[in-house]
Structure 1
């Protein structure tokens, strides 16, 4: 059952990460257009600038769980990489339990009123000519935390399997 949960969560996180990745390239292209328009033609393209900001928010918010899955986050690898698999799993398990899961739950809890208020007023950009739908972007805060919580539970489960059944070697640890 744990293996199924891990596989399903990892697959979902990978799907989201792979869908979001091309947005970085689009963001780069739009930034180039904004710079050329601004400095060559003296045009301030507020909607385009805000599109870049929205894309940036989407990439980071939906990319955080993917970064956890891929172990792309910052880690002091000098010591960790020299430890045996079970001890690394124990460190991962405790780190997830003590830091990641409570942080994810706190982010969900603390962002809900903020997002609910934004939805109730259909919050849009404060800039003249800016984009509507800031409330949609703010919705990514609890969504990111929920996806991070799920991926954290997957990482916790993976570490638990390594500790309890060291003969089972997961994809990584």
Structure 2
């Protein structure tokens, strides 16, 4: 593989690792927020109305950011009745075929999320609750993470092609 492609794969993998690290650290924010909610509600009898919604937004950010990392590390769910018995090259062939289904799905999701983000920006969309937060930041994060997943999917295409050529990219 040309050095440009190797550089692309390394850069996208590094960004996906960073996103995975960020996603993992969001667990602590969720724990702290829920703990604060439990203490203020049960100990001092003064509930904070934004805690549950913040936790929901944080959880959404958690799984959006975790997508590229999961894809990079091949930790996604797969039916491996047949897959496990294949050679490395056989797995690369099958993955090279199925990755295009993922790319199509991600493109459709990206188009929908961009449309949803545009609508949210135009209408200043907010959640209907006492806290009334804007949904623009979480929708923007969804668009960014879908782009990152697409970049990671193309990185996997290059890795599978390299494996088929007998020179895997590490």
TM-score (norm 1): 0.87
Q: Distance in 1 between matches of 2:49 and 2:121?
A: 22
Deviation at 1:170, TM superposition (A): 3.4
2:11 to 8, 11, 27: 8
- The CA deviation at 1:9 is 0.8
1:38 aligns with 2:41: yes
Query: Structure 1 residue 122: deviation in Å?
Result: 2.0
- The separation in 2 between residues aligned to 1:80 and 1:34, in whole angstroms, is 46
Q: State the alpha-carbon separation in 2 of the partners of residues 67 and 43 from structure 1.
A: 39
Equivalence for 2:168: 169
**TM alignment of 1:155-166, pairs within 5 A:** 155-163=156-164, 165-166=165-166
- Cα contact 1:158–1:170 (8 A) shared by 2: yes
In structure 2, distance between residues paired with 1:169 and 1:143: 28
Partner Cα distance (1:161, 1:122) in 2: 46
User: CA 1:161 to 1:169, structure 2 compared with 1: closer, same or farther past 3 Å?
Assistant: closer
CA-based RMSD of the aligned residues comes to: 1.8
1:51-62 aligned at under 5 Å gives the runs 51-62=54-65
* 1:1-173 mapped onto 2 (5 Å cutoff): 1-97=4-100, 99-128=101-130, 130-163=131-164, 165-166=165-166, 168-171=167-170
The answer (yes or no) to whether the contact 1:5–1:154 under 8 Å persists in 2 is yes
Distance 2:146 2:59 in 1: 17
Q: How many Å separate the matches in 1 of 2:97 and 2:39?
A: 49
Question: Take 1:41 and 1:7, find their aligned partners in 2: how far apart are those partners?
Answer: 50
The question of whether the paired residues in 1 share the 8 Å contact of 2:110 and 2:147 is answered with yes
After TM superposition, the score normalised by the length of structure 2 is: 0.88
